[in-house]
Amino acid sequence: MDLEELVPGVLLPGFAGPVVPEWLRAELERGLGGVCLFAGNVDAADPDGTAVLAAAIRAVRPSTLVAADEEGGVVTRLEGREGSTLPSPAQLGLVAPDVAERVGVVLAERVRRAGIDLVLAPSADVNDNPDNPVIGARSFGADPHEVATRVAATVRGIRSRRGVAACVKHWPGHGDTDVDSHRGLPTIPAATAARHAEPFEAAIAAGVPAVMTAHIVVPEWGAEPVTVNPDAIARLRAAGFDGVVVTDAVDMAAIAATYGIGGGAARALAAGADLVCLGNPELGGIDAAAQYAEVVDAIVAAVHDGHLAPERLREAHDRVARLAAGTSAARSSAPADVSVEVDPADARAIEIALAAASDPSAVAGLARIVRVVDARGGATQAAATRAVPVADALRGLAGGGNGSATAHGLTAVVADRPSAVQLGVLADAQAAGECIVVNVGAVPGGFDAAVVQLGADSVFSAGIVRAWAAKGGR
């Protein structure tokens, strides 16, 4: 195979809409490695639409990987319009690891039935920075060992469904940052990377076939972000991982602002990455075809000018091809004999754990809400879905939620982290009358108030809110 013909096989682009565009069809015919689906590719009115779309992709190239961010909680593509019905990692961090494994099975079966074979989950980040603007409830918690047990359990659950591969992220750990790599370039010291290593080590030991890099700088490893840093990726290989190294999206500011999307993709491959995620074309009106062409041109140029060694490109291509062939072969023999619903006993265990972590007075106060204030400004922490089901559920309890606190009613302040803006909104609400915080971020959250701990803004969490309010408390 000509070197330039290898380039499509190491790329994971997105595209707009629920049908395969012509440019993507042409690249599939050229050997495209994978396609990443986002919420805009999912037809909410057609439960089978995503599976039909995936089948249309594979009708052109059967061994193409079809990937999606489907973490549960605040990050979902399949349920992006309304919010996830799966528990979040933060919620699973409050219960036994075997619950995480069973939820991993449910997650894997859901994506399998939707035609997805590479699920970009779970997050192995240790969220020990309350000000983290991008991880929060996407993490199983702040204790590396507890996170590790649940990451390994989730990987085992996903691996139990033949034809579905997990991709653990964001190596070497995005949990102790106060910068969102979508918008800037975070930095962590090597000591933090070492402290956060256990969950990734547990995932590798559990057989995870793919690891996603974080766009963060570890100064002791060099000045470049991990994704484009050969010394960093060599450390991942030295840790025993020989699977597919997937980049986080190269359209994120942490990469694109310095290297450009094409330049970042070429540098990532040269550094040791195998599959380059281009990003979400739904954001900012991106021309997905033009973006893809820019990346291809940059990689081809890097091969010709010697910045990307031919053997490195071939190695990356072969790793992706092996993963795709393995999922393709297993997919055809996977029986559809597993539920796609969370076990009621597991859901109840999570509800009990959330109640135990909450202030009883705040839970009881759900029945007296007359006003709802979303301190997040309407955006979720992960920015992966526009749905805000908890806030909507609270407004329903408050009869619209536009009133003011009274002697008999109170304000519910929805928050996901103790940022200056959110704490300011809370202070204003406290000054105006009685209020509670409904925390949809990491638990416990760090709020100086009576708190209802939910651990995600999701349909799953909204159901718990309604149940507690109906009972006048837990």
pLDDT for the residue 401: 54
pLDDT digits (tens, 9 = 90+) for 420-452: 999 999 999 999 999 999 999 999 999 999 999
Residues 316 and 394 in one domain: no
pLDDT for the residue 283: 73
Give the domain-ending residue among 331, 353, 382: 331
pLDDT for the residue 474: 61
The answer to whether position 279 is within a domain reads: yes
Residues 218 and 296 in one domain: yes
The answer to whether position 392 is within a domain reads: yes
Give whole-number Cα distances, 217 to 163, 192, 229, in Å.
34, 12, 9
DSSP structure string for 61-126: -TT-EEEE---BTTB-STTTTT--SSPPHHHHTTS-HHHHHHHHHHHHHHHHHTT--EE---B---
Q: How many CB atoms lie within 10 A of CB 47?
A: 12
**N- to C-terminal Cα distance for the chain?**
63
Overall domain count for the chain: 2
pLDDT for the residue 471: 86
Among 176, 180, 248, 416, which one carries the catalytic annotation?
248
Give the domain-ending residue among 331, 355, 386: 331
pLDDT digits (tens, 9 = 90+) for 302-345: 999 999 999 999 999 999 999 999 999 888 776 667 789 999 99
Domain holding 102: CATH number? 3.20.20.300
- Counting every residue written for the chain, the total comes to 474
The answer to whether position 258 is within a domain reads: yes
The answer to whether position 337 is within a domain reads: no
The whole-angstrom separation of Cα 354 and Cα 334 is 35
Is there a catalytic annotation at residue 248?
yes
Is there a catalytic annotation at residue 428?
no
Among 117, 170, 176, 182, which one carries the catalytic annotation?
182
pTM: 0.94
Q: How confident is the model at residue 404 (pLDDT cuts 50, 70, 90)?
A: low
Give the domain-ending residue among 268, 303, 331: 331
Give whole-number Cα distances, 306 to 34, 115, 247, 295, in Å.
26, 38, 21, 16
Residues 83 and 170 in one domain: yes
Residues 276 and 355 in one domain: no
The answer to whether position 421 is within a domain reads: yes
Closest by CA position to 245, among listed 260, 261, 259, 229: 229
pLDDT for the residue 248: 96
**Residue 249's domain spans which residues?**
3-331
Residue 104 in contact with residue 155, Cβ under 8 Å?
yes
The whole-angstrom separation of Cα 145 and Cα 291 is 40
Q: Is the pLDDT of residue 284 over 80?
A: no
Q: Which amino acid is at 414?
A: V
Residues 270 and 396 in one domain: no
Mean pLDDT of 394-399: 93
Residues 326 and 417 in one domain: no
Residues 450 and 327 in one domain: no
Q: How confident is the model at residue 4 (pLDDT cuts 50, 70, 90)?
A: confident
pLDDT for the residue 454: 97
* Mean of pLDDT over the chain: 93
Closest by CA position to 85, among listed 311, 344, 337, 320: 344
**Residues of the chain above pLDDT 90, percent:** 85
Residues 323 and 390 in one domain: no
The answer to whether position 339 is within a domain reads: no
Q: How confident is the model at residue 148 (pLDDT cuts 50, 70, 90)?
A: very high
Residues 357 and 238 in one domain: no
The whole-angstrom separation of Cα 415 and Cα 265 is 36
pLDDT digits (tens, 9 = 90+) for 177-216: 998 999 999 999 999 999 999 999 999 999 999 999 999 9
**Residues of the chain above pLDDT 70, percent:** 95
pLDDT for the residue 387: 79
Mean pLDDT of 139-152: 98
The answer to whether position 338 is within a domain reads: no
pLDDT for the residue 386: 67
The whole-angstrom separation of Cα 113 and Cα 105 is 12
pLDDT for the residue 331: 83
The answer to whether position 336 is within a domain reads: no
SS3 at position 333: coil
Range of 1-10, 39-48, 160-169 with top mean pLDDT: 160-169
Residues 309 and 352 in one domain: no
Mean pLDDT of 366-379: 88
pLDDT for the residue 377: 79
For residue 373, the cross-strand partners are: 413
Residue 413 in contact with residue 376, Cβ under 8 Å?
no
pLDDT for the residue 422: 94
Residues 129 and 39 in one domain: yes
Residues 352 and 322 in one domain: no
